[in-house]
Amino acid sequence: MSLPLPEKPRGKPLDGLRVVEFTHMVMGPTCGLVLADLGAEVIKVEPIEGDRTRHLLGAGAGFFPMFNRGKRSIAIDLRHPDGAAVARRLALSADVVAENFKPGTLARYGLDYAALAAGNERLIYVSCKGFLPGPYEHRTALDEVVQMMGGLAYMTGRPGDPLRAGSSVNDIMGGMFGAIGALGALIQRGITGRGQEVQSALFENNVFLVGQHMMQYAITGEPAAPMPERISAWGVYDVFTVKDGEQIFLAAVSDGQWRTFCDALGLGDLRDDPRHATNNDRVRARATLLPILRQRLAGRGAAELAAVFEREGLPFAPIRRPEELYDDPHLQATGGLDEVTLTDGARAGQTARATLLPLTMDGERIGVGHGLARAGQHTDAVLAAVGYGADEIAALRAARAVA
């Protein structure tokens, strides 16, 4: 006789876990964002004046609201001895501490792993850095820096024109790997009872991203060409400019897809040409095949081609800008966006839709949780939770150790 299945768990998988983060910009906050969206109580320690990322302009305007939702905020002056003591007490109450400052910065305040682990052997400490320990570890790293030195900008740009990827790919993925390491360490702590230090890094993340190109060279002996000049693995795998100057990405990555492609578009002569019989044949014939395809598709509309490819199950993609994704019917239907109330700048108090973690759990998307906090919004509540009385909190605030 089989046992009844347990009831579905209520809440989120990391409910009850406390994370304290000393982070700024993108990489460290991304680590905390993942853990917060999965249900952890994430307490963001900000300077008295607030995280300066809150007020960035231009390409940085979306950093804070994107990567800091779902967190509580406490404002502490770490340079004040009483502030540093508050931060240490808070960090010692945590399951996970996450940080992304330069090596040695937090050690000045007794907030490094060695100091904290001496007081809490179960602590998991996630350091998100520019480089893992080694010759480069004290260099100042940015996403663009490691893209340039790690081969990604070379692969993205045209020959002689290295170009960074159009998103903070290393910052975001580096933070994600930090969160993955934290989850692994939590599982191990459940077995051993002991925490550990986890490190992730921008440069090593970037090397992981270009690892396929390194392996290509190891196997073939031929250096990988920048993506605009690459020798494609597929005969048809390109952006086509069509009617009215619109663009659409079209692909046929198998022999079956090639036959369907030709039949759907009335290209029977190309399908039957022995020079195009297999994918590798088509790769070798790309120099002649693609101009023919471009000429024959030039008079067809992007929407018309999309409808054909949708119907036939062929790979295609409209070329969209990020702002156009707010109107994407799939994101709207699947709940891929959720509202957050902005806390800073000219739009403070207004709402914006934020993108969610790209996964479901038990068939549901994971929402934004508590939204965005004002700088220091939860100072009193957090201090009370770690044992400070009202008079002590008032004294700390009067001394400008906290805000």
d(CA 27, CA 36): 14
Task: Give the lowest-confidence range in 7-21, 70-84, 221-235, 248-262.
Answer: 7-21
Enclosing H/E stretch for 96: strand 96-99
**Domain check: are 242 and 313 in the same one?**
yes
> Average pLDDT in the 375-382 region?
97
Left if phi > 0, otherwise alpha if psi is -120 to 50, otherwise beta: which for 142?
A: beta
Instruction: Give the tens place of pLDDT for each residue, 120-151.
Output: 999 999 999 999 999 999 999 999 999 999 99
Instruction: Give the tens place of pLDDT for each residue, 287-317.
Output: 999 999 999 999 999 999 999 999 999 999 9
Active site residue 171: yes
Contact assessment for residue 372 and residue 342, using Cβ atoms and an 8 Å cutoff: yes
**Count of C-beta atoms within a 10 Å radius of residue 70:** 26
Full-model pTM: 0.93
DSSP secondary structure code for residue 16 in this structure: T
Identify the CATH number of the domain in which residue 290 sits: 3.30.1540.10
**Domain check: are 278 and 163 in the same one?**
no
User: Residue 62: inside a domain, yes or no?
Assistant: yes
d(CA 103, CA 115): 14
**Domain check: are 305 and 352 in the same one?**
no
User: Residue 388: inside a domain, yes or no?
Assistant: yes
Report the largest interatomic distance among the alpha carbons of the chain, rounded to a whole angstrom: 86
**Domain check: are 37 and 177 in the same one?**
yes
Token pair in block for residue 80: 């004040």
Q: Reply yes or no on whether the pLDDT at 229 is more than 90.
A: no
- Amino acid identity for residue 252 in this structure: A
User: What was the pLDDT predicted at 7?
Assistant: 60
Catalytic residue selected from 171, 269, 273, 338: 171
Q: How many domains does the chain have?
A: 2
**Domain check: are 54 and 120 in the same one?**
yes
Q: What are phi and psi of 167, to 5 degrees?
A: -145, 165
Residues 6+ apart with CB under 8 A from 15: 39, 40
Token pair in block for residue 252: 């046929």
**Domain check: are 79 and 176 in the same one?**
yes
Q: Reply yes or no on whether the pLDDT at 5 is more than 80.
A: no
Token pair in block for residue 327: 């109107």
Residues 6+ apart with CB under 8 A from 105: none
d(CA 240, CA 250): 7
**Domain membership of residue 305 as a residue range:** 232-321
**Using 50, 70 and 90 to split pLDDT, how confident is the model at 1?**
very low
d(CA 279, CA 234): 6
Alpha helix (H) residue ranges in 193-210: 202-209
Q: Reply yes or no on whether the pLDDT at 236 is more than 60.
A: yes
- For residues 355-368, b (16+ Cβ closer than 10 Å) or e, as one string? ebbeeeeeeebbbb
**Count of C-beta atoms within a 10 Å radius of residue 130:** 24
**Domain check: are 29 and 146 in the same one?**
yes
d(CA 337, CA 74): 27
